Structure formats: structure tokens, C-alpha cells
Amino acid sequence: MSSPSYRPIGPVVGMIGAGQLARMTQQPAIALGIELRVLAGSLDDSAARVVVDTRVGDHRSSADLLDFAQGCDAITFDHEHVPTELVRELADAGHSVHPGADALVHAQDKAVMRERLTAIGVPCPPWARVDTPADAERFAAEHGLPIVLKAVRGGYDGRGVWVCRTPADVADAFSAGIPLLAEGFVPFKRELAVLVARSPHGQGVSYPVVETVQEDGICVEVLAPAPGLDGEDAAQAQRIALKIAHELGVTGLLAVEMFETEDGLVVNELAMRPHNSGHWTIEGARTSQFEQHLRAVLDLPLGSPSLTAPHVVMVNLLGGDDPDLFKRYEHVMAHDPGVKVHFYGKEVRPGRKIGHVTAYGADLDDVRARARHAAVYLTTGEYT
Amino acid sequence: MSSPSYRPIGPVVGMIGAGQLARMTQQPAIALGIELRVLAGSLDDSAARVVVDTRVGDHRSSADLLDFAQGCDAITFDHEHVPTELVRELADAGHSVHPGADALVHAQDKAVMRERLTAIGVPCPPWARVDTPADAERFAAEHGLPIVLKAVRGGYDGRGVWVCRTPADVADAFSAGIPLLAEGFVPFKRELAVLVARSPHGQGVSYPVVETVQEDGICVEVLAPAPGLDGEDAAQAQRIALKIAHELGVTGLLAVEMFETEDGLVVNELAMRPHNSGHWTIEGARTSQFEQHLRAVLDLPLGSPSLTAPHVVMVNLLGGDDPDLFKRYEHVMAHDPGVKVHFYGKEVRPGRKIGHVTAYGADLDDVRARARHAAVYLTTGEYT
């Protein structure tokens, strides 16, 4: 562990992990005079490049975590990969950890999440723990094909998810040799996400419900607010998310991914940190999700989640074959002086989330076309 | 000079100086993946606390500047204190310096500025170089009392300015032993400021004209756009600022402070960097002045200067007797979830600019009251 000599003036928030979420958290930390410290795996990590108080260490090491936490007013996370028992150990050592282990485990363990959501009456797909291919076959016989097998722990961005139509698909999923959960396939109209924040003193706020567009399990586009969503459905989605935050004792941000179906809303996934479905808030809401998370983990009053424009669209930048994005800034900025470009300072690799663009305005079709044009041009050089 | 091992991915912008302007420049640099490097006097400087690639050195040392500039794609400034000849030396060594010495000198030397503005037909107060108290007395006899004596170089925030009504006032100014300029006192209705950006390829944009409210020579409040300003007057102010930028060959930002008088606009001061009168743009414009400056110095297309709300008000936070602002965040954030707080990470000292707050919305009186309430409470603890 490196330990730079750094004398803080403001409150210190320690974020475990140093990816793009920590990087974007540094922007409101700068504004508020909050001292962000990150635990990076390497000095090349996205956030390590912009956070002076970067410590290099292992998020699976109890010693590294306890060392990192010394002097922090709050501890929080850039990812879900810190083992639950080490999160608990930090709190037991007297640190203010947000979310705490008892909440966070629901974002780490999909079986625990499903059990708890079912118990509190939140709509879920049919689900079961499955230990063997035979368990999965029985689940399929009961609920119909296809079924979805998911890694109980550790999946993200489409990894650790198998949509199974045949016994061969099921065998393939089990060949990974990890604990699996079976879920019924939800025939959804579209995917929605609700981002809420909850502070230790119990204040909660919800951002407007958004529509997320996924390709190959990766979020590619977010439309805020979700176009054409009925007001009562939107309120219901927000109530579900706030209820989960309250019942699970979440502190900080909670992103709830949902399916919109003919029969109502079904909860898909939870995340307890700033979330890709909330990147639009940097320009599109009065309080960005990153500022909101800082406020929440420090138990400060939460900020306004109001929209700054009628429509906001965010499109992810997924790395292509060309490592040099910067040469394309010229066209994108000249073509549209209002589009906002975000680049995470990561080496460009095919398929990697390397940035995003945001457009906002009064006309959804126009805003969406602007965001897409910028994203396609930046990543491929193609003029669409 | 420290030289951290730092491998840039994006273009590198070197900013000489590490005050709050450099600090706030880091926020859009993070978004755009631009690598900000700062030359700090000390690691405790405002920007040094949030910029990984901070070099400690002396901005009056040719060797330190040349060393600092190595590997930068563009060099720019957080302040006007780099000697003009050293700015020229950087350009002569092949660096891309914005603004260049021939432009910057007009923001460093008030006599050079007055000569040039007069030559290009920009409205100025009556002025003259004065070498002795007798010169000043003659100037006063011709133009009437009071007169304003100004340090030709180095004044800021009301320092280096003497409003003289008596020979004793004049003697007091000359006792400083520095070159002085005399200006007629301008009976103004209010003070305005225009912020424009100009890029090396000649693109120019102007932000809306703002009203600035000064106390004791320090800007305390900025109203964007300037309330009740006639459309033709606003256009005229923007034309003047863009003309100055063009004629002087400014690259980067140019702030033009003006007096609004019964007889029209009169130019007061120039600054060629992000400016206090533009802090409102962080939330109040589609492109913040800090992002705009980065775009301009890298010769990227400029961003939209459009307002994000009908009215935006910024109020400076000047340090009071109490060094702990953070305990007051709770009230301010609970009282107004939409107000934006900016703290520069500087030790609180009486009278020092330590941060600012911004409010925005549809009703000017409401927006102004919200910004003032937050600023007064944060700096004094008084509930107004």
C-alpha cells in the first residue's frame, strides 16, 4: 500500500475500487471540497489518474482494506466485489460503511436478493436455487422454456447469464462450476431502471424512471425520462425502488433494473452504487448521481433529482478497433456544440465501456439522434 | 521540480498556477479525458489537491517553466503573473501557449491595454500614464475628481487600485513606488462582464452578458443574464468583447469587465483565463467556462454557451472567522436541495475567496435570495 502524505481539509470519503464510477465521483467531490480517496488495483486505473489520494491495494485483503479506511469519514464502493465478510469487518472496526454488509449482500448474491425481495412482496420472476442440471430441468418443466441461469455471485454486463433453451445450454451453464440460480424468462416490453438514494438518517429520493436499451447484456442507451411511461406506472416503479432501499437498509445509491411487462413491473437486478443507468444525471439532473452518492454516504441532506431538460439521452461508448478517440472530438464538437462527451481515460479495447455521451433538449427524437450520432462517430468514425 | 511518472492517454494541458481556476478546470478535464497538469507553488494549492500530475515549481523561473511544458500539447494559465518574456520564451521553444505573450500582455499591463483598446476604438475611460504626483494632479485638473490610480502591473481583487480625491490620496498611491496609470472615475449605473472564448483557428463564442456586483473591489455576486439589459446593449457588449479577442489575438477565454453608464459601455478590465464572473456557467450554461477554455486552448470546436435556466445567480464565499464550513452544509442542503455549493479546498481565512454557490431557476428574485441565503449561512452561520 502506498500512503501519500496528504492533509485533508474536508471530509474524506474512501471509495473501494478506482474505475469510471470513482473517476466521475471525483468531479462533485472537487466541487464540494470532499476529499476522495480510492483503493486502486493499479495506478493506471481510471480513477487513479484523477485522484491524488490513490492507494494501491487489494480489495480482497482485510489488511489492505483496514489500512485504506484509516482516517476516512465514510467508506463506499465503486464495485460489488469486496467480500461481504470484509465489508462487515470494516464496520466492526468502527468505520462508517455505505452500504453496509447487510444491505450490500443483496447486490452481491442474487439468491439472497430473490429471497428477500420475494419476502417483502416485490414482484420478481419465478426463481429457484438450482444445484444440478436436473434441478434446472425441473424448473424449466414447471415454468416453461427458455429459462435463465445466472451466477449467484459475480456476474455483470451480461457475464454470468445463460439463456437456456436446450439441455445442452443448461449443461454449458453448469460447466462453469459455480453456484447458479434459475429464473423464468420474462417476456418484457422494455427495460426500465429506477435510481434512488437513501441516507443513514432515512431520507430517500428517487430520480425519474428511465428506459434502458441493452445489447448482448450491456447497457447501450438510456432515455430519461422513460418515453411514454404512464404516470401511475412511473410512481409505482419509484415506490418499489424506495421500498427496497428502505427494507434492505441501503445507504447511498440503489439502482433497480426492472422489466416492463404486459402484467406490470418485475424487478431484474439491483446495484448499490452509481450506475450506468444514471450517467445522464451529470448534465440532466440538478444533482448528479455521483454528488448524490457522496451526500448520502456522508449523511448530508440529499439533492434535487429534477430534470434539467424535458429529454436526456445517454449513449455508451464501447471501444472499437481504433485506440485513438481524440482525433474524432473535432467533428463531434463541431457538429453539435451542445453534446457532452465523457471519456474515462481507459485504454481503448474492443467492447470495453470507455466513455459515454449525453444530449438533452425538448425533442426526444432529435436528442436521441444527436447522442447516437456522436457515439457512433466517436467509436467507429462512421457518419450516420 | 517533482516529476511523477505519469503516462498520459489523452491530450495534456499544462496550466501554470494551481488555484481554484485550475481546480475547477480539472472537472471538465476528467469528463473529456484531457490530462491536466498544473504548476503549483506548493502541494497545498487548491488545484494540487485534485490534480495527480502536479509539478511544484516557480512560475517566474524560465527553467521550471520549460521543464513543466515538456510533453504538454497546450500551455495555459491560472493567473496573469508569468512574466511576459517567459511566456514568449515558451512559445519560442516550440510550445503551444494560449494566450500567447502578445495577447496576454494586455491582461498584464494596464497601460499597454489602454493604448491598444484606444487604438482599435473600444470605449475606455479617459486615461494617462503618470510618473509623478504632479502628472496625476494635472490629469485630475483636466478630467475632474475623483481620479483612479492603478498599478500598471500586478493588481487584482481591488488591490493596486486607489480612488483619489485629495493630494494626500495621490501621495499615498505613489508611496507604493510602482508604475501607475491614471483613469477618470466612471459614474456607472452598474458593472457588466462579458466572457468570450476564441480558438487558434479563429472561432469565437460569447456567453450571455452578466451583471457583477462588487464590494471593496471584490466580486461578490454575478447575475446571469444581466437583468433588464436591453437587447441591443447586450449585443453591443458582446461585439466589443469579441472584437477585443480578435484584435488582440486572444486564444482561450477573455473576460471583459465593463461599466454601464448613461452614455453607453466603457471597458474597465480584461482577464485572459477562466474568470470569477463566469463561475455560474458550471451549472448555468451548456458548456462551462472551464470546459470552453480547455477546448479553446486545444483548438477544438467551442461548445454551446446557452443558458440552462432563465436566471442563474452566483455568490462568492468569502472566508469569515470560523474555519469550519462543512458543519454548515447540513442546513444549506436541507434548506434548498437545488443550490450548488463549491468549495475550493483552501484553508478558510477572513476575506479570502474560498468558494461560491450557484442557484438557478425561473424567478430572479427567488434565485437571488436562494443563492444569498446559502452564501451568508455558509460563511457566517447567520440565517437570513
Rounded to the nearest 10 degrees, the angle between the axes of helix B231-248 and helix B101-108 is 120
Task: Find the CB nearest A337 among B7, B304, B341.
Answer: B304
Terminus-to-terminus CA distance in chain B, angstroms?
A: 47
pLDDT of amino acid A176: 87
pLDDT averaged over 10-residue windows placed end to end, chain B, 384 residues: 62 98 98 98 96 98 98 97 97 98 98 98 97 96 96 80 94 93 96 98 98 90 97 97 98 98 96 98 98 98 98 96 89 97 93 95 98 96 88
pLDDT of amino acid B384: 82
Of A88-102, A312-326, B359-373, the least confident: A312-326
CA pair distance A323, A41, nearest whole angstrom: 23
Could you tell me what percent of chain A has a pLDDT over 90? 91
pLDDT of amino acid B36: 98
CA pair distance A116, A245, nearest whole angstrom: 12
- Give me the helices (H) in chain A, please: 20-32, 62-69, 84-92, 101-108, 110-119, 133-143, 167-174, 231-248, 281-284, 289-297, 329-335, 364-380
Mutation for B interface: A329, A331, A335, A344, most B CBs within 10 A: A329
Q: How confident is the model at residue A6 (pLDDT cuts 50, 70, 90)?
A: low
B268 is annotated as contributing to ligand binding: yes
The residues pairing with B253 across neighbouring beta strands, listed in sequence order, are B197
| B216: exposed, middle or buried (Cβ count in 10 Å: 0-12, 13-18, 19+) | exposed
A38 is annotated as contributing to ligand binding: no
Task: Find the CB nearest A345 among B9, B282, B325.
Answer: B9
Task: Find the CB nearest B300 among A27, A303, A330.
Answer: A330
The number of residues in chain A equals: 384
Q: B254-306, pLDDT tens digit by residue? A: 999 999 999 999 999 999 999 999 999 999 999 999 999 999 999 999 999 99
CA pair distance A194, A277, nearest whole angstrom: 8
**What sign for the dihedral angle of Cα A275, A20, B73, A328?**
negative
Q: B208-262, pLDDT tens digit by residue? A: 999 999 988 888 999 999 999 999 999 999 999 999 999 999 999 999 999 999 9
Q: A109-151, pLDDT tens digit by residue? A: 999 999 999 999 999 999 999 999 999 999 999 999 999 999 9
Q: What is the mean pLDDT of chain A?
A: 95
Which set of grid coordinates corresponds to residue A317? 461508448
- Give me the helices (H) in chain B, please: 20-32, 62-69, 84-92, 101-108, 110-119, 133-143, 167-174, 231-248, 281-284, 289-297, 329-335, 364-380
Mark yes or no for CB contact B337/A26 under 8 Å: no
Judging contacts by C-beta atoms under 8 Å, the chain B residues touching residue A327 are none
pLDDT of amino acid A156: 65
Asked if A244 and A270 touch (Cβ cutoff 8 Å), the reply is yes
For the beta carbon of residue A70, count every other beta carbon within 10 angstroms: 11
pLDDT of amino acid B316: 97
Asked if B75 and B98 touch (Cβ cutoff 8 Å), the reply is yes
Q: How far is A57 from chain B (nearest CA, A)?
A: 18
Is the model's pLDDT at A5 over the cut of 50?
Answer: yes
Task: Find the CB nearest B10 among A44, A54, A326.
Answer: A326
* 3-class secondary-structure state, position A309: coil
Domain A12-97 CATH assignment equals 3.40.50.20: yes
| B313: exposed, middle or buried (Cβ count in 10 Å: 0-12, 13-18, 19+) | buried
Q: Is A367 left (phi over 0), alpha (psi -120 to 50) or beta?
A: alpha
Task: Find the CB nearest A26 among B30, B329, B341.
Answer: B30
A183 is annotated as contributing to ligand binding: yes
For the beta carbon of residue B384, count every other beta carbon within 10 angstroms: 10
* 3-class secondary-structure state, position B5: coil
| β-strands A35-40, A12-16 pairing | parallel
Which set of grid coordinates corresponds to residue A230? 404512464
Is the model's pLDDT at A52 over the cut of 50?
Answer: yes
Task: Find the CB nearest A52 among B11, B24, B50.
Answer: B50
The amino acid that residue A15 corresponds to is M
B264 is annotated as contributing to ligand binding: no
Which set of grid coordinates corresponds to residue A341? 462527451
Mutation for A interface: B6, B24, B50, most A CBs within 10 A: B50
Q: How far is A206 from chain B (nearest CA, A)?
A: 13
A247 is annotated as contributing to ligand binding: no
Judging contacts by C-beta atoms under 8 Å, the chain B residues touching residue A326 are 10-11, 33
Which set of grid coordinates corresponds to residue A202? 432515512
Which set of grid coordinates corresponds to residue B352? 479570502
Q: How far is B368 from chain A (nearest CA, A)?
A: 17
Judging contacts by C-beta atoms under 8 Å, the chain B residues touching residue A286 are 337-338
Mutation for A interface: B12, B302, B326, B348, most A CBs within 10 A: B326
CA pair distance A97, A95, nearest whole angstrom: 6
Mark yes or no for CB contact B345/A33 under 8 Å: yes
Judging contacts by C-beta atoms under 8 Å, the chain A residues touching residue B37 are none
pLDDT of amino acid A154: 82
Maximal C-alpha separation, chain B = 62
Domain B126-184 CATH assignment equals 3.60.20.10: no
Identify the closest residue of chain A to B300 by CA–CA distance.
Answer: A330
CA pair distance B154, B115, nearest whole angstrom: 18
CA pair distance B216, B47, nearest whole angstrom: 26
Mark yes or no for CB contact A23/B9 under 8 Å: no
Is the model's pLDDT at A4 over the cut of 70?
Answer: no
* Domain ranges within chain A, ordered by starting residue: 12-97, 126-184, 190-380
pLDDT of amino acid B2: 41
Count interface pairs A-B at CB distance under 8 A: 132
Judging contacts by C-beta atoms under 8 Å, the chain B residues touching residue A300 are 329-330, 333
Backbone angles phi, psi at B222, to 5 degrees: -130, 130
> What's the CA angle centered on B341, arms B215 and B255, to 5 degrees?
50
Q: How far is B90 from chain A (nearest CA, A)?
A: 25
| B127: exposed, middle or buried (Cβ count in 10 Å: 0-12, 13-18, 19+) | buried
Mark yes or no for CB contact A341/B24 under 8 Å: no
CA pair distance A46, B280, nearest whole angstrom: 28
Could you tell me what percent of chain A has a pLDDT over 70? 97
Mark yes or no for CB contact A337/B302 under 8 Å: yes
CATH of domain B190-380: 3.30.470.20
| β-strands A210-215, A218-224 pairing | antiparallel
